[in-house]
Structures are given as C-alpha cells and as structure tokens.
Amino acid sequence: MELHIAIEGSKDLAGQLYRQLHDAIRSGRLADGQQLPPSRLLASQLGLSRKTVSDVYARLTLDRLLLGRVGVGSFVSAPAEARPRRQQAADLASAAVVARWEAIATPLRERFPHGRSRYDFRGGCTSPSHFPQDEWRRCVLHALREDGRTRGHYAPTEGLPALREAIARHAAFSRGVVCEVGQVLVTNGAQQALDLLGRVLIEPGCVVAVEEPGYPPARALFASQGARVVGVPVDAEGMLVEQIPAGARLIYVTPAHQFPLGMPMSVARRHALLARAREIGAIVVEDDYDSAFRYEGRPTDSLQSMDRHGIVAYVGTFSKVLLPELRLGYAILPPAIERAAVTVKHLNDWHSASMTQQALAKFIADGYLLKHIRRCHALYAGRRERILALFADQLAPWFELVPASAGFHITALCKAPLDMDLLLRLARRADVGLYALAGFYADSAPRQGLILGYGAIDTLDIEVALLRVRDILAEIMV
C-alpha cells in the first residue's frame, strides 16, 4: 500500500512533499513510530528524484519529526503536543448512551485481574497442554485446501453445511437433542448465540427471567438490549418455576449443570418449566455449556429433547471441550424463530470464519472430538476426586460442596460466616487463585462460598493448593 501524497504540477516539488509529510505528522495522520517508505521507493511512486525525497527526509529529521535508524529506515517521531486531542465521551450527542455501556459490569472479562496464581482454580478454563494439536493441525490443513476452492466468496450465514451436519449428529448423540440440520446456526461462541436470541426476542422494557445466582454475562447482555432482567431463585432442583414472571419473553437456564452452583435441574422441574413457558408464550434458552463431562448417575436428557412445542433454543459451545480461542458455538433454534435469527446473524457479521468451520467439521467427523472428550473426562474425573476427598476431610470444618455430577467446576458453600475477601487475599499471597461465589448474585443476598474450576489446574497441584487454603483458614478462623 502506497503512502498517500498528492504532488501537483512541476514546481516546488520538495516543498509540496515536505508540507504534506509535516502536516500529516503534526495532525496525527501518520502515527508516532510509523515507518516511512524508503526514499528510492517513495521517489518512484511519486515520480520525483530520489535526492528530492532524501532532502525532505533530512529536513524532517532536523525538525525532529523523523528518526532515522541506520540500516532500518525512517520513522515518525511525533511530539506529544502535536498529537490530536481525542474526542471525549462528554462531547458526543450520544454521551448518555456511551455512559450506559461504560457502566455495565463485565466481571469475567479480565481473566486474571491480579495476575495469574501458580495454583489457580479459575472456572471455565481448559488444559491447553492436552489439546490434540497434531489432529487439529491435520484438520486445519484440510480446511485450507477446502477453503481454497471457494476463496473470495462469502460463506452461508447459517454455517457451512458440513459443520451444521456434524453439530446436529454430535448434539443428538451426546445430549439427545432432536433437530434437523436446518435448525443449526453456527455462531462465534455461545455468547453470540445468546446475543442473537436476545435481539430476536427482546425489545426495551420486556421481561427476561434468569437464574439467581446465575451467569453474569448473560444477565448483562439481556439488560444491555433493554430488557428488565429478573433473577429467579434456584433450589436443589433448579429454577423455582412458579416465580417466573407472567410477562417473561425469554427464560435463560443452565439445566444440566446450574451455573454457578452446579446441581442439575430435576425432571419434574424441567416439565414444569416447559409448561410455564408455553403458558406465558416464552422461549426457553437452554445453555448447555459443559455437560459433555459427566461423572456419576444416569445422564439426563437435554431440555430441548423434552420440548414438544418448539419453545426451547439450545445453545452449545466448543470453548469448554476444545479451546475458548476458537470462538465457535451454535444454537439449535425452534422453527418459529429460525428465519429471524439467521437474519440477525447476517446483519451482525454475515457468517463465522469459514476456515475454522471447515477444520472443526473435519475434527468432529473423524472422531477426534469424542476421543478428546473421553481423554479430558478421565483427566477431570481424577481432579474432581481429589477436590471431593480434600473437602470431605481437610476442609470439612469450613465448607460443604454442592452435589454436582457434571462439568469441570464445583461450588463450596461456607458452613459459618467467613471474611471471604481476607481469605482470597491471603490465598493469593500463597500463590493460590480462589474465586468467590458472591459475584454471581444480583437480586438477592449472596451466599458465601467458593467456585472452584479444575479444568486448568494440574491434578498434582490440587492437594498442595488446598492444603495451603486449609492452613490459612486455620489461622483466620481461630
């Protein structure tokens, strides 16, 4: 790409070039540190002599607007006072709108706000060292070849047919989901799926019901779309269906592994939820974020598989079974909102990256996904057993675990009042990353406890970390 300089006529060529470069640097159009083209190349592009360009570069260097590096080139050195004042939010006609967005809390955005601890129980993180790198590389190479055949064209908004078919088969096999390929919409992670569903179903002032405690990004997302978000309490069987507001248009639940407490929704409560949603005309959004990992008891059907009236939108993600960086998720849509959701996706970003879709379709079709899930299942099961054993023994005086049979996080509730901020602070000094349950409550007084993710911590590190926590508790609870 050529540097934009416009030379007119045949007079004062050096002056024209100097003034344009000088003004571009002083105005900020040429950023501080930007490398300029070599004098020979710029002279050729502008139809000038190389000496003219070199003389201008030398003059700008004397003005301290360029910095020459021997053997490297010439770089912009804009003085701080010359850089343009950026527009402030208060100057905008939309200042109030900007302020509302800035006020929205994003507690899970900063992965490690205080720096990552040596022993970290962060939830939602996977073990990158166990990612099947060789198998994925083969699938990416396949995707490059396939993508080359259609390069230069937009892909289908709904997702590539091969991936949609693979997702439909995988969801039916692993979670009993009942759907046709046409109901599958490929998204950039589960969060985009939630955003698309919200855009289809929500208008300012309408009611959205979410679990309390629940997943903060979902609550914040629906609120940002203008909804009045109502937290519905949960008990040992899941959401208290009778407390869902009559005017709710969307009901967001995590029935397989309630987030963050961890218990599954009972079959009776699932039937009650479906009946309530049909009664009030709401769509139920089932976020099945990590049920691929189940350790005990009989597997339960997905809520979507129990739906006989087309009122459940099933949302899944590959972030928890593969890597969050892939940014691929999906929604299995009820027929009533299929076309609307695809339209919103088209207007939002047209389609998700086709090469990654090709690679994932191959990865699923060749059996690599199920093999990886089985391998991680054994790994997570071992880590879970270590946590269960330590909380049943060394940490039993202070905590009790919420029964959970799936996923790769578990919640520990305090048996007695505890200075949680002090515990977290002292644990971090001991290089142990702990995370409080309180941040997942919005409409009610939070219960004291910890949410312990074991996807990324090594099995051998769990005992070391939790024994350090035990020693801290013994000191502060005297």
* Cβ neighbours of residue 153 closer than 8 Å, sequence gap 6 or more: none
Separation of alpha carbons 19 and 361, rounded Å = 55
At residue 424, the pLDDT reads: 95
Give the strand pairing for 399-401 and 409-414: antiparallel
* Cβ neighbours of residue 246 closer than 8 Å, sequence gap 6 or more: 280
- Residue that the structure tokens 């289908």 belong to: 156
Give Cα separations from 276 to 229, 239, 259, 437 (angstroms). Answer: 18, 12, 21, 29
Q: What is the CATH number assigned to the segment(s) 13-82?
A: 1.10.10.10
- Fold held by 133-369: Aspartate Aminotransferase; domain 2 (3.40.640)
Give the strand pairing for 283-287 and 248-253: parallel
CA dihedral 372, 291, 385, 260 (to 10 degrees): 130
Q: Work out the burial of residue 96: count CB atoms within 10 Å of its CB; fewer than 13 is exposed, 13-18 middle, 19 or more buried.
A: exposed
- Range list of H helices, 5-103: 13-27, 39-46, 50-62, 95-103
- Residue that the structure tokens 């039916």 belong to: 172
Give the strand pairing for 312-317 and 283-287: parallel
Two tokens at 439? 């941040």
Separation of alpha carbons 122 and 411, rounded Å = 12
Two tokens at 149? 């055949």
- Range list of H helices, 393-458: 420-429
At residue 1, the pLDDT reads: 61
For residue 435, the surrounding DSSP H or E stretch is: none
Peptide bond into 334 cis (omega under 30): no
* Cβ neighbours of residue 198 closer than 8 Å, sequence gap 6 or more: 208, 221, 222, 225, 227, 250
- Range list of H helices, 338-458: 338-349, 354-365, 368-392, 420-429
Whole-model pTM: value is: 0.85
At residue 165, the pLDDT reads: 97
Tens of pLDDT along the chain (478 residues) come to 678 888 888 889 999 999 999 998 888 888 888 999 999 999 998 999 999 999 999 999 999 999 988 888 999 988 766 555 566 666 788 888 888 888 888 877 665 556 678 999 998 888 778 899 999 999 999 999 987 777 778 899 999 999 999 999 999 988 889 999 999 999 999 999 999 999 999 999 999 999 999 999 999 999 999 999 999 999 999 999 999 999 999 999 999 999 999 999 999 999 999 999 999 999 999 999 888 788 876 667 899 999 999 999 999 999 888 888 889 999 999 999 999 999 999 999 999 999 999 999 999 999 999 999 999 999 999 999 999 999 999 999 999 999 888 888 999 999 999 999 999 999 999 999 999 999 999 999 999 999 999 998 999 999 999 999 999 999 997 6
Domain boundaries, the chain: 13-82, 119-127+371-476, 133-369
Two tokens at 189? 């992670």
How many Å is the maximal CA-CA distance in the chain? 88
Give the strand pairing for 248-253 and 329-332: unpaired
Say yes or no: domain 119-127+371-476 is CATH 3.90.1150.10: yes
Separation of alpha carbons 310 and 314, rounded Å = 11
Q: How many other C-beta atoms lie within 10 A of the C-beta of residue 384?
A: 23
At residue 356, the pLDDT reads: 94
For residues 462 and 453, is the Cβ–Cβ distance under 8 A? Answer: no
Give Cα separations from 462 to 108, 121, 150, 386, 420 (angstroms). Answer: 23, 9, 48, 7, 20
* Cβ neighbours of residue 236 closer than 8 Å, sequence gap 6 or more: 263
